Amino acid sequence: MNMLNETLINEMKFFTDSLGIHTKDISVIIDSDIHMTIVSLRVGGDYETQFTENYNELLRDMGHIFKITLEKNYSFHRDIIIDINNVNKKLIDYTKEKAQIAIERVTFFDKPYEFGYLNAYERMIIHTYLKKYPDIISESKGLGKERRLELKKKDD
């Protein structure tokens, strides 16, 4: 295990212990597709539902506090998310799959593709995922529940 991963795991263990959260396992995953560091926790009991209800709002807030702590203590400046029992990782992988299908449609049919409703987190994942596809651009249009993400070829 490299030094960075070990530091992240130790800090997360301290962080969760301070909050009274019992973790069974902590691991670090680097998702190079979206340039994110995922600190993955396995927890028991009702912790999963507490952190993952309301579209992972509490989990994202906890991740934000953790990131601020890392920036302050270690000058760690990377996008980081906390995942409980692989719920967030599954969402990320599923969202990347949707993006890949949309890219294939845009490329094959040479027409823009508009996603149905995606929350802000899913749109961010797709925007980030598309950075490795320079010929495809993404654009969010609309407001609130009417906000939609459109993919199209760069020359359209």
Say whether both 58 and 127 belong to one domain. Answer: no
Q: Going edge to edge, which strands form the sheet with 80-84?
A: 23-31, 36-43, 80-84
Residue-by-residue DSSP string for 73-117 = HH---S-EEEEETTHHHHHHHHHHHHHHHHHHHHHHH-S-EE-S-
Count of domains observed in the chain:
2
Say whether both 53 and 105 belong to one domain. Answer: no
Q: Which residue has the tokens 């295990």?
A: 1
Say whether both 72 and 7 belong to one domain. Answer: yes
The whole-number average pLDDT for the span 126-146 is 92
Between 102 and 73, where is the model more confident? Answer: 102
Say whether both 9 and 75 belong to one domain. Answer: yes
pTM above 0.95, yes or no: no
Say whether both 15 and 46 belong to one domain. Answer: yes
Say whether both 15 and 79 belong to one domain. Answer: yes
The whole-number average pLDDT for the span 9-31 is 92
pLDDT confidence band for 38 (50 / 70 / 90):
very high
The residue type found at 10 is N
Alpha-carbon gap, residue 27 to 6, rounded angstroms: 9
Say whether both 96 and 66 belong to one domain. Answer: no
CATH number of the domain encompassing residue 30: 3.30.300.20
Domain span at residue 145 reads: 92-153
Asked if the model's pLDDT at residue 144 lies above 80, the reply is yes
Say whether both 25 and 43 belong to one domain. Answer: yes
Say whether both 52 and 100 belong to one domain. Answer: no
The percentage of residues in the chain with a pLDDT greater than 70, rounded to a whole number, is: 95
Domain C-terminal end among 85, 107, 134: 85
Helix (H) or strand (E) holding 139: strand 136-141
CATH number of the domain encompassing residue 109: 3.30.1370.50
Per-residue pLDDT tens digits for 66-93: 999 999 988 887 888 899 888 889 999 9
